[in-house]
Amino acid sequence: MISETDSTLLNVTGLTVQFGGRCVVHDVSFSVAEGSWLMLVGPNGAGKSTIVNAISQTVPHEGSVTWCGQDVRSMKPRERARIMGVLAQGNSVGYSFTVDEVVRLGRYAHRPSLFARTQNSDRSYVDAEEKAIEEAIEQTGLTDLRSKSVLELSGGELQRVFLAQALAQQPSLLLLDEPTNHLDLLYQRQTFELLDHWLKAPGHAIISVVHDLSLAYAFGSGVILLHNGQIMGKGPASEVLTPDLLEQVYGMDVQAWMRSLLQHWC
Amino acid sequence: MASKGHIQDGHFGLRVYIVFGLVTLLTFILCVSVGSVAVPPDETVSLIFKAITGAELPRSSAASIIISSRVPRVLCVALTGAALSLSGAAMQGLLKNPLADGSTLGVSSGASLGAVLAIALGLEFAALPFAGTMVTAVVFAFVSLLAILSLAWRMDRSLSTNTIILIGVIYSMFVSSLLALIVTFASDKVKTITFWTMGSLAGSSYANALVLLGALLVGGSIILSKARELNAFAVGEENAVHIGVNVRRVRLTVLAAVALLTGVCVSIGGCIAFVGLVAPHMVRMITGPNHARLLPASAFGGATFLMLCDLVARIILNPLQLPIGVVTSLIGATLFVVILYRGRKKAL
């Protein structure tokens, strides 16, 4: 999945991001194939979120990002949104929109333009819209909260609302920045299982930032370990998350720490 | 469940808009009837009906007051209220901040600077009596918006309430000093210039109403067509990018429409502060934050609110008339503090 093959969907080459003259991501290259889940791991400030933001074009960058050979930067915003769904970190809403209204916004890019609208396209659009919203809300367990104001939700519930919005967007690639942030263990598990299932549909791929290396092991088809904006290792989790490399990046014996935590359970 | 939501939306539209429209219409009749010379509402309605259908009007002083003075004034007040309220609602969505408005951001002050500058420099087109002040007011409103927002953006990308209020205060003070400077050099026009800073719609004509209606139709339809995008902005600008909104284009389009509405309103009625803050805030309590409902309702709400403020300004110290801006500012400033206080308490 890390190297380019026929089934490659996303290709990132020489990605460099600078903030105020400081290089946050330096010359990062990788590709993502159909059906694969790429995990971006590394300590705080390693550049994981910045890579996600650069791919989704919310921060200016150097280097190229292509989707099936097409330059993502030159795509129109709607076109890009039909390909990529993004779950960002730290979402907050200022007004009391309902859960349904926020999820419904995910359909924005699919709405036929005012000029191309016919009665038929309108009807099929409405059907597709309702189906996508219905599914996204059900899958994320928000059915009971649907008409509730987002201002009354907990952090975890809000996180699920934005995940539902990204799913309702029906993208081919999901970019998830700490998708299980704020989620309790049950929802963490359900979310990862849901995403794993979503990935099985043809033409889908996921890139996600995770802190929990066990999740990267369990669900990732490939891992990129980042440190100070540079790639320290990429490939299958078993090859990248080696004791030496982890020690070098995190400055601690990660596996020993994990084991000592688990010992309490035995 | 989903289709139920839709039906609810449909029902909402029909019922609530009928109520909003009726309230606005009744307020209009009330405001035209009440004044130093009171005319019974049924007589007012029949006079207006006669004037519209072109029937002969009775030669009474009441008829002349109603048709040539009060109707155009109240019409201008209603249209100004609708335009300012719609602009306020759009700004509050765009900036994800319920305190954003032409007056709090200093855009109205900027527009009045443009209008005053046109008067001081004698910028007038012979064919169109108020085109000079209007064009400069619109241009200054737009430039002010761009200047204020880019400065605020540079200081604080999240455009928090603090930043917006600070920049608005600083910009308004900057504009006041420029106005004082112009007054010093063009002392013969002091009275006209003061009018712009106080705000008044006394003596408005049908021509004024027509211009306001034109601006409202153009600016209003631009803003209404961006209801979905404004929802996305109100949820969060980064989220708007992710769902595929062309944020730069939408922002510029909405700001241009807001500048048009604010500029035209200021060039006709001067700085009438806080309408765009109060009306959408009250309407939002009924409609919720969804712009598809909030925007049209805000237009009705703003018209009703400003007509009532104008009525109070006319009758409270009868025979003395208060500038309408005094009434809106008294109500608006109080509400501003309430919103700010509640927001702070929530944050703590």
What pLDDT score does A118 carry?
A: 60
**Alpha carbons A10 and A15: distance in angstroms, whole number:** 13
Residue in chain A lying closest to B235 (CA): A93
Q: Tokens in use for A223?
A: 């891992």
Report chain A residues whose CB lies below 8 A from the CB of B242: 56, 58, 81, 84-86, 88, 166
Report chain B residues whose CB lies below 8 A from the CB of A168: none
Give the pairing of strands A173-177 and A205-209: parallel
Q: Tokens in use for B113?
A: 């600077």
Report chain B residues whose CB lies below 8 A from the CB of A143: 1
Residue in chain A lying closest to B286 (CA): A96
What pLDDT score does B182 carry?
A: 84
Residues whose CB is less than 8 angstroms from the CB of residue B194 and which lie 6 or more positions away in sequence, other chains included: none
Give the pairing of strands A37-41 and A222-227: parallel
Assess contact for B217 and B86: CB atoms under 8 A: no
Report chain B residues whose CB lies below 8 A from the CB of A102: 235
Cβ within 8 Å, pair B96-A94: yes
Cβ within 8 Å, pair B2-A130: yes
- Please report, as a single letter, which amino acid is at residue B288: G
Residues whose CB is less than 8 angstroms from the CB of residue A263 and which lie 6 or more positions away in sequence, other chains included: none
Q: Residue ranges per domain, chain A?
A: 8-263
DSSP string, chain A: --S--TTEEEEEEEEEEEETTEEEEEEEEEEEETT-EEEEE-STTSSHHHHHHHHTTSS--EEEEEETTEESTTS-HHHHHHHEEEE-SS---SS--BHHHHHHGGGGGGSPPTTS--HHHHHHHHHHHHHHHHHHHHHTT-GGGTTSBGGGS-HHHHHHHHHHHHHHT--SEEEEESTTTT--HHHHHHHHHHHHHHHTSTT-EEEEE-S-HHHHHHH-SEEEEEETTEEEEEESHHHHS-HHHHHHHHSS-HHHHHHHHHHTT-
pLDDT top residue among A125 and B325 = B325
CB pairs under 8 A between A and B: 86
Identify the bridge partners of residue A205 per DSSP, sorted by sequence position. A173
Question: In this structure, is the dihedral angle defined by the CA atoms of residues B191, B192, B198 and B203, taken in order, positive or negative?
Answer: positive
Q: Residue ranges per domain, chain B?
A: 77-347
Report chain A residues whose CB lies below 8 A from the CB of B239: 88, 91, 105, 162, 165
The CA distance from A71 to the nearest CA of chain B, in Å, is: 16
ipTM of the predicted structure? 0.91
**Alpha carbons A255 and A31: distance in angstroms, whole number:** 28
Per-residue pLDDT of chain B in tens (348 residues, 90 and over written 9): 333 333 344 456 678 888 999 999 999 999 999 987 888 888 889 888 888 888 888 888 888 888 888 999 999 999 999 999 999 999 999 988 888 888 888 898 899 888 888 888 877 665 666 678 888 889 999 999 899 888 888 887 666 767 877 888 889 889 989 988 888 887 777 777 777 777 778 878 899 999 999 999 999 999 999 999 999 999 998 999 999 999 989 998 999 999 999 999 998 888 888 899 999 999 998 899 999 999 999 999 999 999 999 999 988 887 788 888 889 989 888 888 888 788 766 554
Residue in chain A lying closest to B346 (CA): A151
Of B22, B20, B26, whose CA–CA distance to B307 is shortest?
Answer: B26
SS3 state of residue B143 = helix
**Order of strands across the sheet that contains A205-209:** A84-87, A173-177, A205-209, A37-41, A222-227, A230-235
Q: Which residues of B41-72 are buried (b: 16+ CB within 10 A; e: fewer)?
A: eeebeebbeeeeeeeeeeeeebbebbbebbbb
**Alpha carbons A91 and A155: distance in angstroms, whole number:** 9
Cβ within 8 Å, pair A105-B228: yes
Assess contact for A56 and A208: CB atoms under 8 A: no
Cβ within 8 Å, pair B1-A95: no
What pLDDT score does A5 carry?
A: 59
**Alpha carbons B79 and B83: distance in angstroms, whole number:** 6
Mean pLDDT of A134-140: 94
What pLDDT score does A175 carry?
A: 97
Q: Tokens in use for A106?
A: 């995910």
Of B85, B84, B97, B74, whose CA–CA distance to B26 is shortest?
Answer: B74
Find the CB nearest B289 among A57, A96, A162. Answer: A96
Assess contact for B212 and B83: CB atoms under 8 A: yes
Report chain B residues whose CB lies below 8 A from the CB of A96: 288-289
Of A183, A176, A178, whose CA–CA distance to A160 is shortest?
Answer: A183
Residues whose CB is less than 8 angstroms from the CB of residue A236 and which lie 6 or more positions away in sequence, other chains included: A221, A222, A223
Cβ within 8 Å, pair A56-B5: no
DSSP string, B281-296: HHHHHHH-S-HHHHHH
From the CB of residue A73, how many other CB atoms can be counted at a distance below 10 Å? 13
- For domain B77-347, is the CATH number 3.30.70.1450? no
Dump pLDDT digits (tens) for A196-229. Answer: 999 999 999 999 999 999 999 999 999 999 999 9
Cβ within 8 Å, pair B243-A105: yes
Residue in chain A lying closest to B161 (CA): A94
Mean pLDDT of A183-198: 91
Cβ within 8 Å, pair A85-B242: yes
* Architecture of the domain made up of A8-263: 3-Layer(aba) Sandwich (3.40)
The CA distance from A244 to the nearest CA of chain B, in Å, is: 37
Give the pairing of strands A8-19 and A22-33: antiparallel
Q: Tell me which residues of chain A have a C-beta less than 8 Å from any C-beta of chain B.
A: 56-58, 76-82, 84-86, 88, 91-98, 100-102, 105-106, 108-109, 111, 130, 133-134, 143, 146-147, 162, 165-166, 169
- Does residue B319 have a cis bond before it (omega within 30 degrees)? yes
SS3 state of residue B111 = helix
Residue in chain B lying closest to A143 (CA): B1
Dump pLDDT digits (tens) for A51-78. Answer: 999 999 988 999 999 999 999 999 999 9
Q: Tokens in use for B186?
A: 């063009």
